[in-house]
Amino acid sequence: MSSVRMCVSNDNGVRNSARRARIKRSAGLGLLSAAVAGSITAFAAASADDLKLPASFRTWYHVNTMVIDKGSPLFEAMGGMHNVYINSTGETALKKGEPYPDKTVFLIDLHEFIISDGSYVEGPRKATAIMLKDKKKYAATGGWGFQAWAGGDPTKPLVTNPTKQCFECHQAKKDQDYVYSTYIP
Amino acid sequence: MSSVRMCVSNDNGVRNSARRARIKRSAGLGLLSAAVAGSITAFAAASADDLKLPASFRTWYHVNTMVIDKGSPLFEAMGGMHNVYINSTGETALKKGEPYPDKTVFLIDLHEFIISDGSYVEGPRKATAIMLKDKKKYAATGGWGFQAWAGGDPTKPLVTNPTKQCFECHQAKKDQDYVYSTYIP
């Protein structure tokens, strides 16, 4: 998963230059980078069938928001406004800081931002990305399945190699069940 | 209501210099400005009893997020990350772009932001602000009642003159039932 919110935490994760270097090397960045540039190529999805774009995510619990601005070394790869949501299955674990149960889904709704007199407001959608918990099925990637879609279009999946594009980065958060986001009451 | 999201739209409202000047003159800005400076004085609430801080707003529909950065002329007054939510009563009207029914509540959860390598991430809560629809009760202010609380603390209401602090700004959005936020699917 190339999602910023999933690869860069709001708990100072961005400050870790070693991790940042690792993130920048991640092939996952190339995916959202392409989305940013508007030159998206839709790959044939290599992911499992259950990794589908959730139809109802806009009604899910809003975990947090982060903005990757032009001053960030991550901007080219995944600049934008990242709205992070979680489905009801995972809410309790998020709030308790515990491992997530199977069928938990985190979703990043990545939008362009428009700067107007120093204010950053939401622009068009660039991509959506999910991580779905299934301890057995995705044991090789920390129990999480990963997928992303260019422009939020379910016909344009972006992840073909979840280990390289997603999990290599998430390994750094093993102590948080491979999730960067934490609970903000 | 001095809330950015309620006083500054995501539909280019910030670009209107005349409106911005009007916003800057609004006493409402002084309230959140005080919150930003950390020198909040809690006033005795002059508002009606139904203008209470909703206990459950973090589970409401996330309308949008906006960041007021240091480059904004509004920063001193209400800089920060503005997460905007709406209760279920108002969701349909938001999506249809129609006038809001009574008991609709918009809420801004205003947080500090932390800039880390060019990424803006959520910091501590600075204030929460609501606008509650009741066409008869708040007829003098467009059918909306306004209140805000320093630090999200229900014992620290900030709005004592809703007409001057809030409605003077919202009048500019009469064609959107005095609401700046619009639906982002």
Amino acid at B66: M
Mean pLDDT of B104-122: 95
Nearest CA in chain B to A86: B59
A89 touches chain B (CB under 8 A): no
Q: Which residue has the higher pLDDT, B41 or B55?
A: B55
- Sign of torsion over alpha carbons A14, A60, A35, A113: negative
- For A110-147, the pLDDT digits (tens) are 999 999 988 999 999 999 999 999 999 999 999 999 99
* Rounded alpha-carbon distances, angstroms, from residue B184 to B63, B94, B118: 7, 9, 25
Q: Is B120 on the interface with A (CB under 8 A)?
A: yes
- In this complex, is the C-beta atom of A29 within 8 Å of any C-beta atom belonging to chain B? no
Whole-number Å distance between alpha carbons of B91 and A58:
12
- Nearest-Cα distance to chain B for A139, in Å, is 30
DSSP secondary structure code for residue A183 in this structure: -
Rounded to two decimals, what is the model's pTM? 0.78
Q: For position B77, what pLDDT does the model report?
A: 76
Dist. CA B151–CA B66, nearest whole Å? 18
Quote the minimal CA–CA distance from A104 to chain B in Å.
Answer: 17
**pLDDT value at residue A165:** 87
Determine contact, residues A144/A133, Cβ cutoff 8 Å. Answer: yes
Reported ipTM: the value is: 0.77
